[in-house]
Amino acid sequence: MRDEELIEAAKTAAAMAYAPYSKFRVGAVVLAADGSLFTGSNVENAAFPSTLCAEAVAIGSAVSSGVRKIDVIAVACLDGDQNCFPCGQCRQRMREFGTEKVIVTDKAGRTHRHDLSDLLPHSFGPEDLPSP
């Protein structure tokens, strides 16, 4: 799937967002190593810290379907004219499952591919824990 198609799928997911508080709708698409796709949107909560990011929902969906290796995650937002880079916590969630590339769009709608290692340098991951 092309990067533009993944971003389009992320936008479709964003349209399903539950974001009555921020009014900032975000969508994410996980492309797993086995080629399967999973989507998620942000799910807000009146108790604000209980909000789930779109990436967390998409990763949770993938992992709960058995995925353990993610190749690519695309992120898109529908509101505002800013870029939609993943938050710090979501970068760490991506790191857990070996995500290699993150696709975002710029204000003009062009897609950009980033290495997760650039977005989360000197990261801590599963290999950094002693084996049980």
Q: What's the chain's Rg over C-alpha atoms? A: 14
Expressed in angstroms, the distance from the first to the final Cα of the chain is 38
Q: How far apart are CA 131 and CA 68, in angstroms?
A: 17
The whole-angstrom separation of Cα 92 and Cα 10 is: 20
Rounded least distance, CB 54 to ligand THU, Å = 4
Residues 14-73 that bind ligand THU (CB under 6 A): 19, 22, 24, 26, 42, 44, 51, 53-55
Give the nearer residue to ligand THU in terms of CB position, either 31 or 53: 53
Q: Confirm whether 55 is a catalytic residue.
A: yes
Binding-site ranges for ligand THU (CB under 6 A): 19, 22, 24, 26, 42, 44, 51, 53-55, 86-87, 90
